Amino acid sequence: MSFSTTEKLATGVGIVTLTLGTALTLAPSRVSAALRMGGSSRVARTIGLADLAIGTGLLRGRNRACWMTARAALNLVIATRYRAAAAEGMPGARAGAALMAALTVVDGTLALGLATACRCAEGPAAAHPDIGQESADSSSAACRCSDEAR
């Protein structure tokens, strides 16, 4: 996948994340019921607040690989919420858990693509820390990537 496509997809994920975060924060009971998420409004609002932070991070364009990794991790939390809702008999919750698991793979793949692009943009020392003077691991190299590095 090209860097441009990865960037566009990350922006799309940011917009959807910010939109869902806003909805879950402002109307947690109603939105979580519509999404078949189940649980308390406190849990839904907490997920919404996390979505707001992650969506903002993705749209600001800095450290996008890290924010996309956070998005993938939050998907696992939401999948767990869906599994609990399925155990409580919530219709559609099992499908929600499967969807969140699939989105975790997608978001994880995007995070990897963003991190790889960042390491390439920062040059050989970031892509191969043993060559340059930095000894940071590749994940921290990806997290330092910013718009200025491109």
Separation between Cα atoms, residue 58 and residue 17, nearest integer Å = 9
Number of C-beta neighbours around residue 40 at 10 A:
11
Question: What pLDDT score was predicted for residue 119?
Answer: 67
93-122 and 3-26 helices, crossing angle to 10°: 140
Give me the residues of the chain with pLDDT under 50, please: 124-144, 146-150
Separation between Cα atoms, residue 90 and residue 73, nearest integer Å = 23
Separation between Cα atoms, residue 87 and residue 102, nearest integer Å = 20
Q: Is residue 66 helix, strand or coil?
A: helix
Give Cβ neighbours of residue 66 (< 8 Å, ≥ 6 apart). 57, 111, 142, 143
Question: What pLDDT score was predicted for residue 122?
Answer: 53
Cβ-contact 91, 50 below 8 angstroms: no
Question: What pLDDT score was predicted for residue 117?
Answer: 79
Reported as a single tens digit per residue, the pLDDT across 45-76 is 999 999 999 999 999 978 899 999 999 999 99
Give Cβ neighbours of residue 98 (< 8 Å, ≥ 6 apart). none
Q: Is the pTM of this model over 0.75?
A: yes
